[in-house]
Amino acid sequence: MEQTVSWNRHRKIKDEIRNHVDLMEQKEKMQRRRVLRSRRLETILVVLMFLPALGAAQDLPRIPLYLKSKEIRVEVAKTPEERAKGLMGRTHLGENEGMLFIFEKEDYHGFWMKNTLIPLSIAFIGREGRILAITDMEPLTLEAHPPPQPVLYALEMKKGWFSANGIKAGDSIRFSK
């Protein structure tokens, strides 16, 4: 009888240990799942955070501009935030597409190519719409590109676009044909 009690007690302890081990394994599996979910969520958040830098365009208004006989379509960056972002992170710019920067007042508005992946040319434009200077800019550089005198506008296009289309300092941009 005593041996049966001892055996039953032994079996009960063994079952408790097995249940405890099973419970610990289940907790460990749940913890691993939580860690995996957390890592997945972190990965998704990082991707979403950097999505704009992967080429997603800003939702800016597009307007036509005219240079000599050429019509181009430009996005208009008119707020400080829009101008600060510019074409950063873009991986593509269409053949006759660019970005027009409009400033509140004429000043020496300089540009750089931080986080800008596309080589660009920039035309610095005065109040009257006359191009004052055109400069080529290399991607991913911090070199400053200031205008030669105060400007009210700047127009960024693919590098070499102005020269390829015969556009030079002294030419004017128009907002209508």
Q: What mean pLDDT do residues 49-76 have?
A: 78
Other residues' Cβ atoms within 10 Å of the Cβ of residue 135: 16
In this structure, are 21 and 70 located in the same domain? no
Question: Nearest to residue 133, comparing CAs of 96, 168, 98?
Answer: 168
Residue 47: pLDDT band (50, 70, 90) is very low
In this structure, are 128 and 162 located in the same domain? yes
CB 137 within 8 A of CB 120: yes
pTM of the entire predicted model: 0.68
Domain boundary among 29, 53, 77: 53
Tens of pLDDT, residue by residue over 5-19, are 566 766 777 677 777
In this structure, are 60 and 44 located in the same domain? no
In this structure, are 99 and 130 located in the same domain? yes
Give the contacts of 1 (CB within 8 A, at least 6 positions apart): none
Tens of pLDDT, residue by residue over 19-43, are 767 777 888 888 887 776 666 555 5
Mean per-residue pLDDT over the chain, rounded: 85
Query: Does the structure show a pLDDT above 80 at 94?
Result: yes
Q: What integer pLDDT is reported at residue 55 of this predicted model?
A: 43
In this structure, are 26 and 104 located in the same domain? no
Which residues span the domain enclosing 8?
A: 2-53
How many angstroms separate the CA atoms of 118 and 84, rounded? 16
In this structure, are 136 and 77 located in the same domain? yes
How many angstroms separate the CA atoms of 85 and 156, rounded? 13
In this structure, are 19 and 90 located in the same domain? no
Q: What mean pLDDT do residues 58-71 have?
A: 92
How many angstroms separate the CA atoms of 22 and 38, rounded? 24
In this structure, are 70 and 141 located in the same domain? yes
In this structure, are 108 and 42 located in the same domain? no
Query: Does the structure show a pLDDT above 90 at 97?
Result: yes
Question: Nearest to residue 62, comparing CAs of 72, 81, 79, 76?
Answer: 76
More confident residue, 44 or 103: 103
Q: Which of 34-38, 71-75, 119-123 has the lowest mean pLDDT?
A: 34-38
* Domains held by the chain: number: 2
Give 51's DSSP letter.
G
Domain CATH for 81: 2.60.120.1140
Strand order in the sheet with 97-107: 131-137, 120-125, 151-158, 97-107, 70-77, 62-67, 173-174
In this structure, are 42 and 107 located in the same domain? no
